[in-house]
Homo-oligomer: A and B are copies of this chain.
Amino acid sequence: MTDFHAWVSAHQLHFEDVLKHSLPAPELAPQRLHAAMRYSVLDGGKRVRPLLAFAAGELAEAERKRVDIAAAAVELIHAYSLVHDDMPCMDDDVLRRGKSTCHVEYDEATALLVGDSLQSLAFQLLAEHTLSDNPAGQLQMVRLLALASGSRGMAGGQAFDLASVGKQLALPELEFMHIHKTGALIRAAILLGAHCGNGLGAAQLDRLDHFGKCVGLAFQVVDDVLDAEADTATLGKTAGKDAERNKPTYVSLLGVAQAKKMAADLHAEAMESLSEFGAKAQRLRELADFIVIRKY
């Protein structure tokens, strides 16, 4: 088995190519919209969700060409959510991954249409390629991504997040928000990758889903810890930009030490969900480490 970091780099590189071919060509009309879609999706991010899909696909012995498409669909949903989140009426961010955000580089109306079009494209990809030997199973993949994206998934989590600014949330409410806002799509990435294979039963898919739930939450807890500690170190303040914005975080509710313990516990629970899979789950385990034990 190749080294984990080599696996990550190879898959990131390969996946960039998949995205380039999945997006409408820049010379196709309407050119400006297509250019803005490519600007917003390509050359950005660690591609955590696609990597999880690839790892789950390996576990399920899926053809990589199928997982390519499933991973692209999930990443397009993620990319659309970033474009819309950055808009002035949401988080009003001007920089993303060191580049101007879409509405700054283009304009707000274009950013709105970029997000809308990326969402349509995600479902187009899931419907127009063969991803499963069983078309009825493939329809379930479409449903799974739609549920994870919509008002009972990611977009619903955003709505909770908006409603929570300036409020005192309890821990279960904060967890509920994150399970939707970031967790739903992480779980969908893993399940869609696994569905591209054929062999997994319902109980095994449930284990994978529980792994995704734990990793998704741990990802957020670690984000909150890094935000708080980075600012403490670099700005000499005891809390980061989330605290400034008066947003509840795991650190604001639990303190840094307890938040770190929570991340470690979730990591252990995630690993436990994979125990039956043996060596096949190696990449998923490494990704869980990568997500939880990171410095940025």
Contact = CB atoms under 8 A, between A and B. Distances in A.
Contact of A32 (B110, B147, B163): B163
B155 A143 contact: no
Interface stretch (A116-124, A210-218, A234-242): A116-124
A112 B127 contact: no
A151 B89 contact: no
B123 A123 contact: yes
A267 interface: no
Contacts of A176: 29
A34 B90 CA distance: 18
Interface in A135-153: 135-136, 138-140, 142-143, 145-147, 149-153
Interface residues on A, range: 35 or more
A95 interface: no
A85 to B, nearest CB: 9
A257 interface: no
Interface in A22-41: 24, 28-30, 32-34, 37
Contacts of A80: 116
A158 B84 contact: no
A24 B159 CA distance: 14
B120 A30 contact: no
Nearest to A89: B108
A147 B119 contact: no
Contacts of A153: 120
A233 interface: no
Contacts of A30: 151, 156, 159-160, 163
B89 A112 contact: yes
Given A32-B159, A89-B109, A162-B110, A24 B152 contact: yes
A70 to B, nearest CB: 14
A128 interface: yes
Contacts of A81: 116
Interface of A: 24, 28-30, 32-34, 37, 80-81, 84, 87, 89-90, 103, 107-110, 112-113, 115-117, 119-121, 123-124, 126-128, 134-136, 138-140, 142-143, 145-147, 149-153, 155-156, 158-160, 162-163, 176
Given A116-B116, A134-B135, 9 more contacts: A30-B151, A32-B163, A110-B159, A116-B119, A116-B149, A120-B146, A120-B153, A120-B155, A121-B146
